[in-house]
Structure 1
Amino acid sequence: MDIDNHQLSLGYLTGLASRLFNRLLTQRFKQIGIDMTAEQWGVILVLKNSEPMTQNQISELLYLEKSSVSRSIDGMEKRGWIVRQRSVIDSRQKLVSLTQKALDIVAQCSVIAEEVLRDVQQDVDNDSLQRSQEALLQVIHKLRQFN
């Protein structure tokens, strides 16, 4: 790859697409009065689909830095969306779980997330979208091997 053409590299393009998508999702949440970041939405989805877990487990599942997850969870706790409780099995660990308040907004946020996906993919034909998804899954698989 030509060093002068870095803006066409897969790393640059996927990073940019991710940041733009997250920004749009956050804006759309704010438009309906929900002060939530895309990263916090990711945490909610992980917790909604699993048992309570530690911050480290959330970090590993989302491939995010522990400090980033910690900041997200702190903000979510202040909003009353999550609670941290000592583990019955290991009292040194705190388990994170969703509150009813968080579960009450999941449906609204899911609709917004689906709308964002529909909006940004509307001009991409299904074959191109499917090929892109397959290629990204291959890249993700390879990245996980290297990490």
Structure 2
Amino acid sequence: MEDFVLDQSVGYTLNIVATLLKRELNEEFQRAGIDLLAEQWALLYRLHERGSLNQQELAASLSRDNGSVTRTVAVLEGKQLLQRRQVATDRRHRYLSLTPAGQELVPRLIACAQRGLQRATAGLTPQEVTQLNHLVLKMTHNLNQ
């Protein structure tokens, strides 16, 4: 343990990068006049990408706990960006989907995310970005086992 250096730890570095990326995305949304946070964006994008999902599926797809997804869903429902629909065959289950306003907002959110990532990856070659993504996905896979 003596040769452990926090600033040279991959986990610590990834955490710092994640924090900075969220901050950058929040600032991009603010500059674009969009009242959303990075955590909310991921949920909206996942519903855009996959259509309607139940809350457990959504939480699992984002590697988030159900409690945080419940809170985020409530906020986004209040902003009228997503809706809950009961399953006809089982009233206990509800599916989440984007409202027309949520669907309309997604292209603007994607543009903000792309600008933020361009800033974050400035100075990296396309090959380096691909390699970085590949390595991080390998780590994600390892940790989800």
TM-score w.r.t. the length of structure 1 is 0.90
Which residue is 2:72 aligned to?
A: 72
Q: Secondary structure at the match of 1:49?
A: helix
Structure 1 residue 127, shift from structure 2 partner: 3.5
Distance 1:52 1:8, change over 3 A: same
Task: Tell me the number of residue pairs that the alignment of Structure 1 and Structure 2 aligns.
Answer: 145
5 Å-filtered alignment, 1:4-83, equals: 4-83=4-83
Distance 1:49 1:128, change over 3 A: closer
Q: Which amino acid aligns with 1:14?
A: L
- 1:136 & 1:20 partners in 2: Cα distance? 16
Higher RCO (CA-CA < 8 Å; seq separation 6+): 2
> In percent, how many aligned pairs have the same letter?
24
Which residue is 1:86 aligned to?
A: 86
| Structure 1 residue ranges without an equivalent (≥5) | none
Task: Considering fraction of residues, name the structure with more strand.
Answer: 2
How large is the Cα RMSD of the aligned pairs?
Answer: 1.6
Structure 1 residue 123, shift from structure 2 partner: 1.2
Distance 1:9 1:100, change over 3 A: same
- 1:123 & 1:68 partners in 2: Cα distance? 35
Q: Which amino acid aligns with 1:80?
A: Q
| Structure 2 residue ranges without an equivalent (≥5) | none
> 1:76-123: CA deviations, max 9, x gaps?
011000111111232101111100001111111111111111111111
Q: Which amino acid aligns with 1:140?
A: T
- 1:138 & 1:66 partners in 2: Cα distance? 24
Flag as ranges the 4+ runs of structure 1 deviating above 4 A: 1-4
